[in-house]
Amino acid sequence: MSAPLFLVDVLPDGDSFTLTGPEGHHAATVQRLRAGEALILADGRGASAAAEVTAVGRGSVEVILGERAYASPPDPRLVVVQGIAKGDRGELAVQAMTEIGVDEIVPWAAARSVAQWRGDRGVKARDKWVSTAREAAKQARRAWLPTVGGDPDCSTKQVAARLPTFVLHEEATERLTTATLPATGEIVLVVGPEGGITDAELQTFVEAGARAVRLGTEVLRTSTAGVAALSVLSARLDRW
C-alpha cells in the first residue's frame, strides 16, 4: 500500500517538520500513524517530499523529510465544464473526475439544471465541490490539485467564451475515441446536466468552435459521463 498523502501550503525547507491543523489531526487521529511509518507531504502544485513519522502528538505528527520530487503540470490540461446536477450527483462526478485526473472543473448553470446555485447557496455548493476535489486528490496521491474555477453558476455565454473543445452529446456522430486532440494548451469538455444539453446551448458551443462528440451508444448519467470521457482522454494522451 502506498504512503498516505497530506497537503501543506508550502513544503518546508528543513529536514524536519510538524504537521498540525486538520491534516495533522487526520494523520494522528484518523489515520493513526505511528513512528516509523511513511507518508507524503505535497503542496498541491507539483512539489512533494517523502517523509517518515518520528513522533505523534495530540492532533499532530512530527516527521523527518527525505527525497523530494516535482511533477510538471499536465499539458494539455483537461478541463470539464460540468452541468450542475441535483442531489449528490455533482459531488460524485467531482470526486471521480478528480481521481481520474481532471485539472479543472467549471460548474455550469445549464438551462436544464434542476439545482440552482444562487447567492450564499451557490458559494457553499461550490466550496463543497472544492473540498470534495481536495480529498479525492489526496486519496489518488495527486501531485497537482484540480481547481474548481469560474463563478458558482457559470453561464452558457461564459462557457462559450472559454472556447470549449468538445461537447458530449448523444446525437453526435463523431466519437471521442477518434477525434483529433490538441497537442498542447487545454482540452475543454462540456458535460450536460440530467436533462441534457438544449439545442440552443449546443449551437452556442459549436459556433464558439466546439465539436459535438459521443462515447458510445449508451446514454450515461451526468455523474459518469465526464469520468468516462476523461478515461478515454487519459489513455489517448498517454497519461495512463
pLDDT of residue 1: 65
Does the pLDDT value for residue 211 go beyond 70? Answer: yes
Amino acid at 87: G
Q: Where is the domain boundary, 70, 100, 120?
A: 70
Percent helix, strand and coil across the chain, each to the nearest 5: 30, 30, 40
Instruction: Provide the grid cell at 140.
Output: 489518488
Residues 54 and 106 in one domain: no
pLDDT tens digits, 121-180: 888 888 999 999 999 999 999 999 999 986 777 899 999 998 899 999 999 999 999 999
Residues 137 and 38 in one domain: no
Label residue 42 by pLDDT band (50, 70, 90). Answer: very high
Instruction: Provide the grid cell at 141.
Output: 496521491
Residue 102 CA to residue 84 CA, distance in Å, equals 17
DSSP letters, 168-218, are E-TT--EETTTS---SSSEEEEEE--TT---HHHHHHHHHTT-EEEE-SSS
DSSP letters, 44-69, are SBSEEEEEEEEEEETTEEEEEEEEEE
Residue 53 CA to residue 17 CA, distance in Å, equals 10
Residues 204 and 152 in one domain: yes
Label residue 184 by pLDDT band (50, 70, 90). Answer: very high
CATH code of residue 177: 3.40.1280.10
Amino acid at 123: V
Q: Where is the domain boundary, 29, 44, 70?
A: 70
Give this prediction's pTM: 0.92
Share of the chain above pLDDT 90, in %: 79
Residues 89 and 60 in one domain: no
Residues 81 and 65 in one domain: no
Report the first-to-last Cα separation within the chain, whole angstroms: 20
How crowded is the C-beta side of 56, counted as CA atoms within 13 Å?
17
55 lies in which domain range?
A: 5-70
CATH code of residue 33: 2.40.240.20
Does the pLDDT value for residue 63 go beyond 90? Answer: yes
